[in-house]
Amino acid sequence: MRRQEVGGRYLRGRIGQQVMAREPANAPQPIGGETRTCGRLAQGPLDQLDAELAARTGTEAVSLFLEWLWKTLDGPLFAVGLELLTAARTEPELQAVLRTGGDELAAKLDETARVLAKSAGGGNRAALEIMLLMSIPMVRGIGLDLAVGGKRAEHAARFRDWGTAVLAATA
DSSP-derived letter for residue 74 is S
Decide if 137 contacts 69 (C-beta within 8 A): no
| Span 122-150, average pLDDT | 92
Q: Which amino acid is at 83?
A: E
**End-to-end Cα, the chain, rounded Å:** 52
| Span 109-128, average pLDDT | 89
Model pLDDT for residues 16-45, shown as the tens digit of each residue: 444 445 444 444 444 455 445 555 556 777
Q: Which amino acid is at 74?
A: D
Average model confidence (pLDDT) across the chain: 79
Instruction: Look at residue 27 in the predicted model and tell me its pLDDT.
Output: 42
| Span 64-91, average pLDDT | 90
